[in-house]
Structure 1
Amino acid sequence: MASCAEILRSEFPELDGEMFAYVTGILHSGSADFESVDDLFEAVGELLQEVSRDSKDDEDIRDICQRMYNILHLDEENSRGCSQVLLDAPIQLSKITDNYDSGVDLLPTLLLKRDQNSMVNAKKLEKAEAKLKAKQNKRTERDSLNPAGLLVLEEASASQASSKKETRMESSGKNKSYDVRIENFDVSFGERVLLTGADLNLAFGRRYGLVGRNGLGKTTLLKMLANRSLRIPSHISILHVEQEVAGDETPALQSVLECDTTRESLLQEERELTARINAGKGQGTEGDRLSEIYAKLEEIEADKAPARASVILAGLGFSAKMQQQTTKEFSGGWRMRLALARALFARPDLLLLDEPTNMLDVRAILWLENYLQTWQSTILVVSHDRNFLNVVATDIIHLHSQRLETYRGNFENFMKIKEERLKNQQREYEAQQQYREHIQVFIDRFRYNANRASQVQSKLKLLEKLPELKPVDKESEVMMKFPDGFEKFSPPILQLDEVDFSYNPSHCIFRSLSVSADLESRICVVGENGAGKSTMLKILMGDLAPVRGIRHAHRNLKIGYFSQHHVDQLDLNISAVELLAKRFPGKTEEEYRHHLGSYGVSGELAVRPVASLSGGQKSRVAFAQMTMPCPNFYILDEPTNHLDMETIEALAKALNKFQGGVILVSHDECFIRLLCKELWVCENATVTRIEGGFDEYRDILQEQFRKEGFL
């Protein structure tokens, strides 16, 4: 393989000696700081572009940087040997390296020695030098704070302009409004700016849906609001449903009731006063205080609280028996439901929900939709579920281009208004461009005509005064592709015949279960949590063996599995590229990056630690890992969790084009409608096929709600 110096000589023959020494010196001394090809490109790419005099575009320069990056990271010997190739001129690179490593500026020396006809200007050199120095300083600082070399994740931060008027009102206690107004604020995550100069206005009593692409900062914004990093009046109570309830001996129903701290403190005081009176230790004032407590308990309708808490728990799937179970008996998913139940019961002034439908089955989602429509205070919810936002949201806040835009109405209304706005902006931009061109033609035509000089000047001033409109900033289309890579084979492909299954003899999960699928199947499995959906998927994959009955799978069947707990399967301490290389060795970095790019994990995302990615980005990494061996059948358990709407739509299109079979568990109505031709309902220890698809299933659930008194 050619060395870095040889690559530079062959690709840039016009590179003068001093500049050649500078670039190779940076490659030699800064190789440890180049954590990705993007770092190397940032350090020398602009200089090389200047030298090439437009004979090479950014893509060509990046390819050259990729080749040099590969050499630098082959092994330690190559890394050291990169700049040890004999040069055409007697330049002492070791001195340049020594100066650079010791923190001495090598730039002034280079500029003094530089040939006056050098093809790179000094400002470009200064900029490259500053970038590399900043990166090296940051690395030094990070290493000093973290000598053990442990993974350190970036942290989010927020800042906003202060308003003297709001500060005065807050300190005087005169601000009684429950509206939230946050103006001119910034939010960053490490070095990445997520929002800049943004405004957020939440009117009390309205329900806002926060939408935007994965990784833009929706979850981070909720956290900044929840911990009051962004200023919110202190009298406004905030509750962010983020973490599952801790497991202890508290019954589920009592755990919810304890959220009402006012009621709990009054009841505790009432018990203490009654015990004192019964023990004959009263001082004569207990009776009056008890009367006050009873009056307050009646005022807050404390006697109705258990019934209200029970209704919320039942709506979220907790049976009467489950409501009496201790919180430690529940799995993580059920504890998250419990956290949601506590939030709904507490009724904060501002309720923050991050993907609440991820933890719920279709039945619970329908109940939550109905419940939130009568919510009295303010809601800000991040959700990828179009139908949920159509039913619940009164307003949509769109996060894009580091700003927030608010639209009145539900999600469908937002999409219509956004499209109309974009069309109008594009029409205005094109009209102005035509007008500018028309004026410019006149100026160019009569620029040197003395008789038209005053008119030309007038036109020039007119051009200067025109507001500068920008072209419409359209979001790039999300693309996903599932590789086929196999030959078709005849059925039967995958089937269960008269299968019984149980984890213990006292509780049968399935009895006489018979289902089958082929390479054209697009099947969605629905049902309440605990009905056995994930268990059936594991039986189909062969991970669980039936107690009775037969599982048949074609000998050439290769299954790709996506778990709803896919993050647990990823090594969070390494990058996505390293993860694929570790799991599927033998390919080049370009091949791994290309494969990741098929799922939207490109550029610096591919080389960042997986732990620093958003939930949706981690899901995309999991898709890339799952598809690397080119399966011919996919079994997917809740694949849409954490994905944004555009990615969900792209996922549905990719699976529709895939030349193989698909069985999935999902609660996302839009996704199910886009993809699935069959609907299997898991209930009563068996699976039933619904002929009318999702519409019929939804009608069945709504009828159940009416019978149970939820509607």
Structure 2
Amino acid sequence: MVATVLSKAEMSKMVRECVPDADDAIIDYIVGYLDENSTLGDDEDAIAEFVRPLLEDAGGEPDAIDALCSRFQSMFDSQERHTSKSVGSDGLAKLLEKPVHMLSQDSVSATGKIGARAVDLEALSGRKILSQVDTKKLEKAEAKIAAKMAKRTARVEYAASKLLDKKEDVDMLAVNPILDYTSTKGKLKDVKLENFDISFAGKRILTNANLTLAFGRRYGLVGRNGIGKSTLLRTLSRRELNVPTHISILHVEQEMVGNDTEALQAVLSADQWREHLLAEEKRLNALNMEMEKGLQEGDTRSKEKFEQDREKAMADLKEVYSKLEAIESDKAEARAASILAGLGFTPDKHHNPTKSFSGGWRMRLALARALFNKPDLLLLDEPTNMLDIPAVIWLENYLKTWPNTLLVVSHDREFLDEVATDILYQHSEQLDYYKGNFTQFHTTKAERHKAQLREYENQVQYRAHLQAFIDRWRYNANRAAQAQMKIKILEKLPELEPPEVENSIFFKFPDPEKLGPPILQMTDCTFGYNTEKNILEHIYLDMQMDSRIAVVGPNGAGKTTMLKLLTGKLEPQKGLVHRHGRLRFALFSQHHVDQLDVNLTSVEFMAKNWPGKSEEEYRRQLGSFGITGMVGLQQIATLSGGQKSRVAFACLGLQNPHFLILDEPTNHLDMDSIDALTSALSQFQGGVVIVSHDERFIKAVCNELWVCEGGSLKKFQGDGIKEYKEYVLSKGL
């Protein structure tokens, strides 16, 4: 390790002295790379091609950069000489200690086989040839080549992994921490990948697949839970597939880590090229002031050299100003504030530190950073999960005018209908393309399946007709020639495969015993977490066993608080909540994954929390929610988000509830699972209360709509969720 020569702190200090104005992220990036790569002495370009450009981009002086790179190179050379003594103690060295007989080698070079056909030198010469190669030198050469190749691979992997793991400004940039996107204008930015495979945890996700993303199109990626949609997005974002390097990629899948950075600044800092230009502007202005001061005090440089330095600084500053103008840097703050406002951040929250926001709001911040940054390829994984209906409406309208390429995984059909121009359907380790939005995809897919089924049935009939002719006339002398011809036709027919039929998913909740009214009532209830401000005031609610209620409203209005009051997790400060003495609730939280022990299997988790049943009974219960086969015996941590949701639903069923209280139940579910949940709730004989932003789901399940906003909860007098969305748009909520 280089750390044996210098500590990371010492290397950081050296880099900081060389480039005083560099961002901490860049310095950490350089030092981390140097620290993790122990021997670069044989890789002559490692310092020149990797470290030096970063130092130059960070604003270092050429002489200082030369000195620092020379020092790093000499340290690596010294470390290489120290470690090379121990190289060769592995299996390769043991093999090379023996004489090498060319007759036993199948044309093997230092890097592998020369060709597919082996050359038998013994047969050619008639005698055995003992290699005169110095095994020690060969061993060292082999080790150097292997180390060089490993370093080149590690350099790319390190760049991607460090930027993915960084939980600050570079949190969401998989590669290219600073990319001059003004220089990529006019370049082809279509993504075309052919014949690639993707595997995850030993499971094949895609096989010999093709992916084409035309620049400026908006693609919806759909498919069943666990099929590997999120894995495909991560593979693209980490550039494990051969995406052109001039195409910037940004993947939003997890919330940003909170710190003391203000929300508005967190969004602005997402555009690292703008941040880099502003830092350069600051550095060059400071340099010009310093030179002016030196001119007044009598600089020791020659007049010619001084004027050259001054002209270069002014030219560099002019170029920086030109690029800032090209990216409209002066409008950046207004654009960032507009995006934050659209995602529900009121102006008074724009300057709050990011650590003051909950996980859901930090997820919105991550989304805001992505939208502000405008990457060439934006990857979104279930972006509506943490949004309320007003924010979903705003996001739909914003993405309709998205100028670059968008690839979004979503279960929300209405959202995909509004946003998508194309649909990618992932199934059976393949990707199928459909033009149009989700509704058009659903129609076209059904028509394709019918056509494939007709073709299959026609082929079956044709084969049966041929076989019948052959069976009848094969041994007839007059028809034998015709029968032989039919046999040849039958043999040449392609292998017949029936069209893929997806297994239907069914959910089923157990029906509870009937309870007499009153079941559940809230009378003039008021609640607040502190005495200064109430979240809910004067709430009246009466629910029966056949109630189907949807609660909607902006985030932070008190929807989740109301559910806790219903279930008794919170008690009102004023008013009365009456619950039937035998009333049982089952609560599905939008953070249900936190309630699962991911280190256990689904069966183990159920047995631990609801003991008294056999393994077969637990597996049967899981099977009622689509967790079949060996999936119930897998560790919960290995399941997809949708599969974890199904486990949570199966646990609700074990509680045999009279009322199902569901907070964002469609998050992470695929569309077939949403349909299965819709059907199960329609057949359930108990009461249902849901908080959701999914328009189609609300329309299919609920017959009452309650709006929670401004501290009140009132029944919506309009005609369902569609009219409520129009109301939201008209009010600008």
Task: Note whether the superposition's TM-score is higher than 0.5.
Answer: yes
CA distance in 1, matches of 2:593, 2:403: 36
CA distance in 2, matches of 1:301, 1:546: 51
**1:679 aligns to what SS in structure 2?**
strand
**1:336 aligns to what SS in structure 2?**
helix
**Quick one: which amino acid aligns to residue 366 of structure 2?**
A
- Equivalent residue, structure 1, for 2:372: 345
CA distance in 1, matches of 2:465, 2:238: 54
- Equivalent residue, structure 1, for 2:613: 587
CA distance in 2, matches of 1:583, 1:325: 40
- Equivalent residue, structure 1, for 2:705: 679
Identify the match of residue 644 of structure 1 among 647, 670, 677.
Answer: 670
Deviations for 1:166-221, whole angstroms, at most 9, x for unmatched residues?
Answer: xxxxxxx9994211111111111222212111111111110000000101101111
CA distance in 2, matches of 1:478, 1:512: 42
**Quick one: which amino acid aligns to residue 215 of structure 2?**
F
CA distance in 2, matches of 1:511, 1:312: 31
Identify the match of residue 330 of structure 1 among 357, 362, 367.
Answer: 357
Identify the match of residue 387 of structure 2 among 360, 366, 384.
Answer: 360
Q: Which runs of 4+ in 1 moved over 3 A?
A: 173-176, 272-292
**2:227 aligns to what SS in structure 1?**
coil
- Equivalent residue, structure 1, for 2:342: 315
1:136-535 equivalences in 2 (<5 Å):
176-277=187-288, 280-281=292-293, 284-285=310-311, 286-486=313-513, 488-535=514-561
C-alpha RMSD of the superposition = 1.6
**1:237 shift after superposition:** 0.6
Deviations for 1:134-186, whole angstroms, at most 9, x for unmatched residues?
Answer: xxxxxxxxxxxxxxxxxxxxxxxxxxxxxxxxxxxxxxx99942111111111
**1:701 shift after superposition:** 1.2
Residues 690 and 696, structure 1, Cα contact 8 Å, conserved in 2 = no
**Quick one: which amino acid aligns to residue 227 of structure 1?**
R
**2:384 aligns to what SS in structure 1?**
helix
Residues 695 and 722, structure 2, Cα contact 8 Å, conserved in 1 = no
Q: Say whether 1:665 aligns with 2:684.
A: no
- Equivalent residue, structure 1, for 2:601: 575
**Quick one: which amino acid aligns to residue 580 of structure 2?**
H
CA distance in 2, matches of 1:605, 1:235: 41
- Equivalent residue, structure 1, for 2:681: 655
**1:292 shift after superposition:** 3.3
Gap regions ≥5 residues in structure 2 = 1-183, 295-305
**1:629 shift after superposition:** 2.0
**Quick one: which amino acid aligns to residue 549 of structure 2?**
I
CA distance in 2, matches of 1:186, 1:481: 37
**2:540 aligns to what SS in structure 1?**
strand
CA distance in 1, matches of 2:347, 2:690: 30
CA distance in 1, matches of 2:488, 2:316: 80
CA distance in 1, matches of 2:227, 2:277: 44
**1:536 shift after superposition:** 0.4
CA distance in 2, matches of 1:393, 1:652: 24
Deviations for 1:291-325, whole angstroms, at most 9, x for unmatched residues?
Answer: 33333222221111111111111000001011111
CA distance in 1, matches of 2:383, 2:634: 28
**1:450 aligns to what SS in structure 2?**
coil
**2:528 aligns to what SS in structure 1?**
strand
**1:246 shift after superposition:** 1.5
CA distance in 2, matches of 1:498, 1:435: 74
**Quick one: which amino acid aligns to residue 621 of structure 2?**
H
TM-score (norm 1): 0.73
Residues 502 and 510, structure 1, Cα contact 8 Å, conserved in 2 = yes
CA distance in 2, matches of 1:473, 1:386: 23
- Equivalent residue, structure 1, for 2:649: 623
CA distance in 2, matches of 1:175, 1:239: 20
CA distance in 1, matches of 2:266, 2:576: 44
CA distance in 2, matches of 1:469, 1:177: 41
CA distance in 2, matches of 1:187, 1:358: 26
**Quick one: which amino acid aligns to residue 298 of structure 1?**
E
Deviations for 1:519-564, whole angstroms, at most 9, x for unmatched residues?
Answer: 1111111111100000000000010010100011011110011011
**Quick one: which amino acid aligns to residue 543 of structure 1?**
K
Deviations for 1:351-400, whole angstroms, at most 9, x for unmatched residues?
Answer: 00000000100100000000001011101100000000001000000011
- Equivalent residue, structure 2, for 1:688: 714
CA distance in 1, matches of 2:196, 2:317: 49
Deviations for 1:437-471, whole angstroms, at most 9, x for unmatched residues?
Answer: 11111111112112211111001011112223321
**Quick one: which amino acid aligns to residue 682 of structure 2?**
N
CA distance in 1, matches of 2:482, 2:564: 79
CA distance in 2, matches of 1:193, 1:619: 23
**Quick one: which amino acid aligns to residue 515 of structure 2?**
F
- Equivalent residue, structure 2, for 1:104: none
Q: Say whether 1:549 aligns with 2:575.
A: yes
Identify the match of residue 584 of structure 2 among 555, 558, 567.
Answer: 558
**2:206 aligns to what SS in structure 1?**
strand
Residues 506 and 676, structure 2, Cα contact 8 Å, conserved in 1 = yes
CA distance in 2, matches of 1:500, 1:343: 39
Counterparts in 2 of 1:190 and 1:263: CA distance versus 1, 3 Å:
closer
Residues 495 and 552, structure 1, Cα contact 8 Å, conserved in 2 = yes
**1:274 shift after superposition:** 3.5
CA distance in 2, matches of 1:413, 1:247: 41
CA distance in 2, matches of 1:343, 1:337: 10
Residues 484 and 630, structure 1, Cα contact 8 Å, conserved in 2 = yes
**1:288 shift after superposition:** 4.5
TM-score (norm 2): 0.71
CA distance in 2, matches of 1:272, 1:198: 48
Deviations for 1:264-295, whole angstroms, at most 9, x for unmatched residues?
Answer: 22222323343455565466445444433333
**1:634 aligns to what SS in structure 2?**
strand
**Quick one: which amino acid aligns to residue 679 of structure 1?**
L
**Quick one: which amino acid aligns to residue 205 of structure 2?**
L
Residues 369 and 392, structure 1, Cα contact 8 Å, conserved in 2 = yes
Counterparts in 2 of 1:640 and 1:593: CA distance versus 1, 3 Å:
same
CA distance in 1, matches of 2:323, 2:525: 58
Residues 526 and 681, structure 1, Cα contact 8 Å, conserved in 2 = yes
**Quick one: which amino acid aligns to residue 254 of structure 2?**
Q
**Quick one: which amino acid aligns to residue 618 of structure 2?**
Y
**Quick one: which amino acid aligns to residue 687 of structure 1?**
L
Gap regions ≥5 residues in structure 1 = 1-172
**1:267 aligns to what SS in structure 2?**
helix
Percent of residue pairs identical: 58
CA distance in 1, matches of 2:468, 2:314: 93
Count of residues in correspondence between the two structures:
533
1:92-107 equivalences in 2 (<5 Å):
none
CA distance in 1, matches of 2:286, 2:469: 96
